């Protein structure tokens, strides 16, 4: 009993909650667990559907065209336009959330209703039964992917809006979001690290990309014989490699979905909504007008959109770099793992950083660090062992803006909900947090597009008969596009936030004024 009390006290201290009053640690933990499962689903699609299409379904092959463009560019435009389309569905979903009235609240019910549909749609994205390179397959995947994004929106928008319904205390809410985002990062990291290790292992027998590798695996073979091996034996291996790859992605997807679905139900059952508007539901047109009155939220949105490419190396582009430049897609796990320590440290320090510097300046400061780091990596390059070491250090530093961004933007949007209520008398959690999911989706769209565009520009061919999938010039092109786009995006992230004006002190004053107005109205 004593140990249990100590644990409860530690949890209350972690979240800043008060025993028996308002939101409790059990709810915060349940909220985080839902995010953990949600990121299994989000990451398997966001990070690997493009690779599934280019390398498993072979739309990245040099002989594939969809209409008048190459297969790889068709995939790039699919990722870009579908995600942007879906991002602009978020305000619609936010309005639906604000109009929802059930005995469970307006956000929680969607966790229950959408768990199974999002799981089914996710598995369908990686259907292994469709023929590779076929235009009909591409059309079918387009339809499935568009449906997936719409279903995911119905689950995602209310999940993030739920945090403002649980508590209106910016410190507690910030702590809850800090833990939730940290747990979400771990969930995403498991998928990001685990999947390429698995795919690299199961397809290793097909990967002879240079003479030295063949000679090392076949002692006594001559250089010419090794070259002949690459040019003839490997000719029949590309289809088998792609087939193995698509089934591996499918199986990984099924496993992660089956783990994720129960976590949605757990979050639904163990959270409570306390702060929701009891007035008549607003119309969609009214919500849009409300959105444009929240000028501070719009600054966050513009910042997020301009920063859409800042983490492109952790999306598809990083996997392509590991696979075709480092000749080992399992190295993508190392690339993403190098970011983790900085992200974890930054996540833990977010409460201290925001208290010391405010959310605004903590956000700006870490992105200045990110911009400087990426420009340094761009000019240093990657074509020597010592340069790779320097870049590894750079990746560790880049975890800092990633970790801070993942938490502070949600906390700042929560503050803009209070700002909107102070300014207009209406909270609009759904429409406000729809902007966060819009930012996330446009970021994923830009990240995937830049990654596949770089793949196309570098002239990568996943089923090259001679095993030479990329030239030396193509490797340099891939590096330049990935790193330089990220560096420029880091700078873009900073500019709008220079005009952001909600401080922690001002947020507390606004909450107090709102409470006074409600008290006066009640009397």
Please report the sign of the dihedral spanned by the C-alpha atoms of residue 354, residue 355, residue 357, residue 359.
positive
Residue 358 lies in a domain: yes
- Which helix (H) or strand (E) element contains residue 267? helix 238-269
Bridge partners of residue 21, in order along the sequence: 18
- What global pTM score does this model have? 0.79
Residue 180 lies in a domain: yes
User: Where residue 443 falls among pLDDT bands split at 50, 70, 90?
Assistant: confident
What number is the average pLDDT over the span 411-437? 85
3 state DSSP class of 399: helix
Residue 53 DSSP label: I
Which pLDDT does position 215 carry in this prediction? 67
User: Where residue 4 falls among pLDDT bands split at 50, 70, 90?
Assistant: confident
The answer to whether the CB of 468 falls within 8 A of the CB of 213 is no
Domain that holds residue 109: 25-268+287-517
User: Where residue 277 falls among pLDDT bands split at 50, 70, 90?
Assistant: low
Which pLDDT does position 258 carry in this prediction? 97
Question: What CATH code is carried by the domain that includes residue 482?
Answer: 1.20.1250.20
Q: Distance (Å, rounded) from C-alpha 381 to C-alpha 403?
A: 25
The answer to whether the CB of 511 falls within 8 A of the CB of 168 is yes
Give Dmax over CA atoms of the chain in angstroms: 93
Q: Distance (Å, rounded) from C-alpha 93 to C-alpha 107?
A: 11
Q: Distance (Å, rounded) from C-alpha 484 to C-alpha 446?
A: 14
Where does residue 315 rank: exposed (0-12), middle (13-18), buried (19+ CB within 10 A)?
Answer: buried
Residue 188 lies in a domain: yes
The full 3-state SS of 125-157, as one line of letters, equals HCCCCCCCCCHHHHHHHHHHHHHHHHHHHHHHH
What number is the average pLDDT over the span 328-340? 84
The answer to whether the CB of 452 falls within 8 A of the CB of 316 is yes
Residue 395 lies in a domain: yes
Residue 6 lies in a domain: no
Q: Distance (Å, rounded) from C-alpha 192 to C-alpha 337?
A: 9
DSSP β-ladder status, 69-70 and 65-66:
antiparallel
3 state DSSP class of 494: helix
CA 232 to chain centre: 41
Residue 506 lies in a domain: yes
pLDDT in tens, 222-234: 666 665 555 545 5
Which pLDDT does position 210 carry in this prediction? 61
The answer to whether the CB of 372 falls within 8 A of the CB of 310 is no
What number is the average pLDDT over the span 477-490? 93
Does residue 163 carry a pLDDT above 90? no
Phi, psi of 283 (to 5 degrees): -80, 165
Alpha helices in 270-329 (DSSP H): 284-293, 295-306, 316-324
Number of domains forming the structure of the chain: 1
Share of the chain above pLDDT 90, in %: 45
Q: Distance (Å, rounded) from C-alpha 487 to C-alpha 371?
A: 5
CA quadruple 150, 155, 156, 161: dihedral, nearest 10: 130
Q: Distance (Å, rounded) from C-alpha 393 to C-alpha 385?
A: 13
User: Where residue 212 falls among pLDDT bands split at 50, 70, 90?
Assistant: low
- Which helix (H) or strand (E) element contains residue 352? helix 331-380
pLDDT in tens, 85-120: 888 888 888 878 878 888 888 899 999 999 999 999
Residue 376 lies in a domain: yes
Residue 192 lies in a domain: yes
pLDDT in tens, 281-295: 677 788 888 889 999
Q: Which residues contact 127 (CB under 8 A, 6 or more apart)?
A: 140, 141, 144, 250
Bridge partners of residue 69, in order along the sequence: 66
């Amino acid at each position: 009993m004593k140990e249990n009390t100590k644990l409860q006290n530690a949890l209350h201290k972690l979240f800043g909650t008060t025993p028996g009053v308002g939101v409790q640690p059990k709810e915060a933990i349940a909220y985080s667990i839902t995010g953990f499962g949600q990121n299994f689903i989000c990451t398997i699609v966001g990070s690997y559907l493009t690779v599934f299409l280019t390398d498993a379904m072979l739309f990245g092959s040099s002989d594939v065209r969809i209409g008048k463009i190459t297969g790889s560019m068709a995939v790039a435009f699919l990722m870009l336009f579908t995600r942007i389309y879906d991002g602009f569905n978020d305000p619609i979903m936010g309005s639906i959330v604000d109009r929802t009235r059930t005995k469970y609240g307006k956000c929680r019910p969607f966790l229950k209703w959408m768990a199974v549909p999002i799981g089914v749609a996710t598995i369908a994205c990686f259907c292994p039964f469709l023929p590779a390179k076929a235009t009909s397959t591409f059309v079918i995947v387009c339809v499935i992917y568009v449906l997936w994004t719409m279903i995911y929106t119905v689950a995602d928008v209310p999940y993030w809006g739920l945090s403002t319904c649980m508590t209106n205390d910016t410190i507690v809410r910030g702590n809850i979001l800090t833990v939730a985002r940290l747990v979400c990062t771990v969930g995403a990291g498991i998928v990001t690290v685990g999947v390429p290790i698995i795919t690299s292992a199961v397809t290793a027998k097909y990967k002879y990309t240079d003479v030295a590798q063949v000679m090392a695996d076949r002692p006594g073979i001559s250089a010419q014989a090794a070259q002949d091996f690459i040019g003839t034996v490997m000719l029949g291996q590309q289809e088998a490699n792609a087939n193995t790859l698509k089934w591996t992605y499918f199986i990984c997807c099924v496993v992660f979905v089956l783990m994720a679905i129960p976590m949605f139900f757990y979050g639904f059952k163990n959270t409570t909504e306390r702060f929701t508007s009891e007035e008549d539901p607003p119309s969609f047109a009214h919500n849009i007008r409300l959105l444009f009155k929240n000028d501070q939220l719009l600054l966050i949105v513009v910042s997020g959109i301009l920063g859409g490419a800042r983490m492109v190396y952790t999306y598809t582009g990083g996997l392509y770099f590991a696979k075709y430049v480092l000749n080992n897609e399992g190295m993508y796990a190392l690339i993403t793992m190098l970011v983790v320590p900085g992200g974890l440290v930054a996540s833990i320090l977010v409460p201290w950083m925001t208290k010391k510097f405010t959310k605004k300046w903590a956000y700006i400061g870490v992105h200045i660090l990110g911009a400087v780091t990426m420009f340094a990596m761009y000019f240093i390059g990657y074509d020597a062992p010592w340069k790779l070491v320097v870049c590894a250090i750079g990746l560790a530093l880049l975890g800092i803006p990633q970790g801070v961004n993942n938490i502070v933007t949600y906390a700042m949007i929560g503050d803009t909900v209070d700002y909107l209520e102070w300014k207009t008398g209406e909270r609009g959690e759904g429409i406000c947090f729809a902007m966060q999911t819009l930012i996330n989706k446009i970021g994923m769209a830009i990240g995937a597009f830049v990654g596949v565009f770089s793949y196309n520009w570098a002239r990568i061919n996943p089923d090259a008969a001679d095993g030479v999938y990329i030239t030396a010039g193509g490797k340099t092109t891939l590096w330049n596009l990935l790193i330089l786009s990220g560096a420029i995006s880091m700078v873009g992230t900073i500019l709008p936030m220079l005009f952001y004006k909600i401080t922690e002190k001002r947020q507390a004053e606004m909450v107090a004024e709102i409470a006074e107005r409600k008290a006066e109205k009640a009397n």
